[in-house]
Amino acid sequence: MGLKSNLHNLKEKYKGTKMAPAFNAIHTFLYLPNETTHNGTHIKAADDLKRTMNTVIMAMVPCLIFGMFNAGYQHHLALGEIQNATGFFGASFWTWDNLVIGLWKVLPLVIVSYGVGLLIEFIFAIIKKHEVEEGYLVTGMLVPLIVPVDIPLWMLAVAVAFGVVIGKEVFGGTGMNILNPALTIRAFLFFAYPTWMSGDKVWVHGAVERAGTPDAISGETVLGSLAQNQEVTHSVMDMFYGIMPGSVGETSTLLILLGGLFLIFSKIGSWRIMLSSVVGALVMGLIFNQVVDAGIITESSKFYGLMSTPFWHHLLIGGFAFGTVFMATDPVTASQTTKGKWIYGFLIGFISIMIRVFNPAYPEGVMLAILLMNVFAPTIDHYVVQGNVKRRLKRAKVKTA
């Protein structure tokens, strides 16, 4: 109580000064706000923006930890120091060496993401004299999970600055942005530094020192192999568990699924968007499979690899599962109406697989699909609402007649 009392006294001291928003942010992060509503409310609930953001972060923490182990595991596997025979439950995966190597590369990504993003948030709060909002807490965790583990930190810092300023603050801050900030950051990296975002090589710690054996420390991701019509060496269970190269937090469909169930149970993530996205992806994948079975596309086509992939495999590879669970369901940029969520999610899944197949140079479409539907989400809701209004007017006319 003494610490809380002292912090409250400091809060009163800084009240009305330029630094008040910054200090209030730290105070609110540690404790509940002192200004709470007691009377005159219709609904009382214990949740607030900070608790909501923290819940989403908790759902992503298993993906982060797994990504650290997987980074170290892929490092040793690429160098031939271990054999890929143990799988998800194997002793050689959950080792201290794998964790240390993964921690060495992933933790700086988290630090840069939060450091740069929160610094910009504080600066804008001080300039505009408003409270620092907790919206970036989730974005700061999302960003390290959707980028390659070997991306240079300065690139990440530039991208985070762009995403926070252009993708969020220019629209008015948390709750006002029309594009998902984390995907805006990834889109900036994709267009500004495409060679670093291709994700077609296995990162190896100390690769510069091992330059004498470059062939032994590189390898395709599953999407990269399929896009080039190459045979995939990873099993379906590898894809499901996530024992394969890829961005830090996007490989393990199992952990992403558990995180999605946690968000649905806590009523933070929309199950309608998740389910309709899966349905849309399956429909598009099934259409491509039928095109291949009909002989319209042959093995000589550059689209054959991904088109011939069993339609349900698309749910296990790339960033589709992660994007569907943690970014398509963003309540700020997604559709708000019930019917709109079904339409919004279905189109995300449908367009994701379409872009993935027809863009073999960068065989991942969930990022662009979600950003595209972020733009159209208000339009979808508009027509859904207008449709409801027209139906009610018709019923009213029938009753009066």
Residue 152: phi and psi, rounded to 5, are -60, 140
Query: pLDDT 10s digit of each residue in the chain, 401 long?
Result: 455 555 555 555 555 565 555 555 555 555 555 555 555 555 555 566 667 888 999 999 999 999 999 988 888 887 877 776 566 777 788 888 889 999 998 999 999 999 999 898 888 877 877 666 677 889 999 999 998 888 899 999 999 999 999 888 887 777 778 889 999 999 999 888 877 775 555 666 665 444 444 433 444 577 777 877 777 778 899 899 998 888 889 999 999 999 999 999 999 999 999 999 999 999 999 999 999 999 888 888 888 888 999 999 999 988 899 999 999 999 889 999 999 999 999 999 999 999 989 886 676 789 999 999 999 999 999 999 999 998 888 887 777 76
Question: How high is the pLDDT of residue 298?
Answer: 85
DSSP string, 44-96: --S--HHHHHHHHHHHHHHHHHHHHHHHHHHHHHHTTSS-TTS-TT-TTTS-H
For residue 23, is it within any domain? Answer: no
For residue 220, is it within any domain? Answer: yes
CA angle 23/29/30 to nearest 5° reads: 95
For residue 392, is it within any domain? Answer: no
Count of alpha carbons within 13 Å of 378, Cβ hemisphere only? 7
Please count the helices (runs of H) and the strands (runs of E) in the chain: 16, 0
Q: Of 18, 17, 207, 204, which Cα lies nearest the Cα of 127? A: 18
For residue 208, is it within any domain? Answer: yes
For residue 123, is it within any domain? Answer: yes
- Burial group, residue 258, by CB count within 10 angstroms (0-12, 13-18, 19+): middle
For residue 191, is it within any domain? Answer: yes
For residue 140, is it within any domain? Answer: yes
DSSP string, 268-317: -S-HHHHHHHHHHHHHHHHHHHHHHHTTSS-TTSTTHHHHSS-GGGGGTS
Structure tokens at 232: 């995939």
Q: Of 116, 105, 200, 107, which Cα lies nearest the Cα of 156? A: 116
The Cα–Cα gap between 167 and 330 comes to: 14
Expressed as residue numbers, the domain containing 204 is 49-386
392 three-class SS: helix
For residue 353, is it within any domain? Answer: yes
Helix (H) or strand (E) holding 146: none
DSSP string, 182-232: HHHHHHHHHHHSHHHHS--S---TTTTTTTT-GGGG----HHHHHHTTPPP
How far is residue 135 from each of residues 56, 69, 117, 120, 147, measured CA to CA in Å? 11, 28, 11, 13, 20
pTM: 0.85
Counted domains in the chain:
1
CB atoms within 10 A of CB 315: 21
